[in-house]
Structure 1
C-alpha cells in the first residue's frame, strides 16, 4: 500500500491492524556522466514500493534529498545539512507514531544517510516512541555483488548502474559507460586516499574527476534484475521479522 495514493478513510483499517511502515530515502546527486541524479532515490523507492506490494505493509512518500555535500562540486547536486536532515526525518517519522506506527524500516540507498538514520533510530528508540531500523540494499547482498563484479565501486559503479539499467533503462546514457569507467576511479579500497592511516579526502572529486568509482562496463540489466530480486527478498523478510517482534523487546534494555 502506498500512503500517498490512498484517501484518509481508507487508511483506517491499516492503522487498526498493522504497526509497520517503510520509509524510502535516497539523494539527488551526481552519479557520473551516465546515470541520473535520481539514482539513489529511484532505487530506494523501487525497493520500498515493491516490498509494500509483496508484503502488504505501508510505504510512505520518498525523501529524495539526503546528506550529499561531498558531491557538491558536480552540477545539480542537492543536499541537506546533516542536522537538518536528521531533524526532518525524525519529525516525519514521529508523525507516523501518531497514527499508531511503532516500527519503521528506513529503506535507504545513499551511503551518506546511513549514520544519520542510525542516529534518528536511536533517538526514537531511546524515548520509547518506536523502533526504526536502517536498511541498505547493497549491504544485504554483499556476497552476490562481490561475485557479480570485479570492481563494484561504492558510488556510480556497476552495481548501481545495473539496477538503473533494470529499473529505468531510459535514464541511462549507455554511450557514456566507457567514459564513466575511464574518467573515474576504477579501483577503490580502504587504502584509497589515506596517508599514514588518515583519511585525507572529504569530497568525491578528491578521488574521481567524473564522480564515479568502479568499472561500469561490467553492468547489465540482467544482473540488475538479479540484484534487485535478491535484495528485495531480504527486505521483505526483514519486514516480516520486525512485524513479528514484541514491541517491548525492541526497546532499550534496562540499566544493569
Structure 2
C-alpha cells in the first residue's frame, strides 16, 4: 500500500500496527553517466516493491539527504545533518501517532546512514517507535563483490547496474567509458589517508568526475540480479520486524 495514493477513509484501521517502509536517498551528482536522482530512485523502487509483496505500508520518498560532500558538482542538493535528523525524527513520530510504530528506513545514500541510525536511537529511547536503517548493498555484500572486479562506493558499477535495470532511459551509456577513465577505479589508488586520518572531506578531492569503480562492468542483467536478491532481504527484514512484539524492541531495563 502506497500512503500518498490513498484517501483517508480508506486508511482508517489500516495503519495501526503495520510496518512502514520509508524510502530515503539523495539528489546529488553520480558522475557523468547517471542521474542526480540515482539514490532516491533506487530507494523508492525497493520500498514500493517490498510493500507490494508484503502488504506493508510504503510512504513518500525523501529525495534530498545529507550530501554536502558532493556540493562542488552542479545540481547537487543537500540539507544540513541536524535538519535532516530533526525532519526524519519528526515524521517518524508522526507515523507513530497513527499507530505505525515499526519503521524500516529504506536507504540508498551512504551519507544518510549515521544520521538515520541516530534517529532510530532517539525514537527508540523515547519509546515512540522502533526504526532501523537498511541499505541495499549492505544486505548482499558478497553478491555485490562477486559481480564486479572494481565495485566503487559511489557512482560505480553497482549503482549503474541498478539504474540500467530500473530506469535504463536515464543512463548515458555512451559516457560509461568516460566515467571510468575520469574517475578512480580503486580506492587503494588514493593517497588521502595519512597516518590513520582521513584528510579529505569532499568527493572531488578524490575523484575529478565524482565517481569510483569500473562503470563499464555494469549491465541491466546484473542490476536485476542484485535488485531481486536485496529485495528478498528487505522483505524478510520487514516480515521479521512485523513479528516482533513492540515491547521487545524497546531499550532493556538498566542493569
Give the shorter-chain TM-score range.
Answer: over 0.9
Q: Supply the distance in 1 between the matched residues of 2:190 and 2:69 (Cα, whole angstroms).
A: 19
Query: Larger deviation: 204-213 or 187-196?
Result: 187-196
Find the counterpart in structure 1 of residue 21 from structure 2. Answer: 22
Q: How far does residue 19 in structure 1 lie from its aligned partner after superposition?
A: 2.5
Q: Supply the distance in 1 between the matched residues of 2:217 and 2:11 (Cα, whole angstroms).
A: 44
Find the counterpart in structure 1 of residue 35 from structure 2. Answer: 36
The structure-2 alpha-carbon separation of the partners of 1:254 and 1:31, relative to structure 1 and needing over 3 Å to count, comes to same
Query: Larger deviation: 6-15 or 173-182?
Result: 6-15
> Residues 7-58 of structure 1: CA distance to partner in whole angstroms, max 9, x if unpaired?
0011113124x33101000000000000000000000000000000000000
Find the counterpart in structure 2 of residue 183 from structure 1. Answer: 182
Find the counterpart in structure 2 of residue 55 from structure 1. Answer: 54
Find the counterpart in structure 1 of residue 227 from structure 2. Answer: 228
Find the counterpart in structure 2 of residue 218 from structure 1. Answer: 217
Q: Supply the distance in 1 between the matched residues of 2:206 and 2:128 (Cα, whole angstroms).
A: 41
2:93 maps to 1:72: no
Q: Supply the distance in 2 between the matched residues of 1:33 and 1:52 (Cα, whole angstroms).
A: 32
2:233 maps to 1:241: no
Q: How far does residue 6 in structure 1 lie from its aligned partner after superposition?
A: 0.4
1:162-201 mapped onto 2 (5 Å cutoff): 162-189=161-188, 193-201=192-200
Q: State the TM-score, normalized to the length of structure 1.
A: 0.98
Q: Supply the distance in 2 between the matched residues of 1:20 and 1:5 (Cα, whole angstroms).
A: 17
Find the counterpart in structure 1 of residue 88 from structure 2. Answer: 89
Structure 1 residue runs of 4 or more that deviate by more than 3 Å after TM superposition: 189-192
CA RMSD of aligned residues (A): 1.0
Find the counterpart in structure 1 of residue 160 from structure 2. Answer: 161
Q: How far does residue 188 in structure 1 lie from its aligned partner after superposition?
A: 1.3
Give the 3-state SS of the residue equivalent to 2:79 in structure 1.
coil
Q: How far does residue 192 in structure 1 lie from its aligned partner after superposition?
A: 5.1
Find the counterpart in structure 2 of residue 123 from structure 1. Answer: 122
Whether the 8 Å contact between 2:92 and 2:129 is mirrored in structure 1 is no
Q: Supply the distance in 2 between the matched residues of 1:85 and 1:75 (Cα, whole angstroms).
A: 21
Q: How many residues align?
A: 255
2:8 maps to 1:8: yes
Give the 3-state SS of the residue equivalent to 2:28 in structure 1.
coil
Q: Supply the distance in 1 between the matched residues of 2:247 and 2:187 (Cα, whole angstroms).
A: 42
Q: Supply the distance in 2 between the matched residues of 1:32 and 1:90 (Cα, whole angstroms).
A: 31
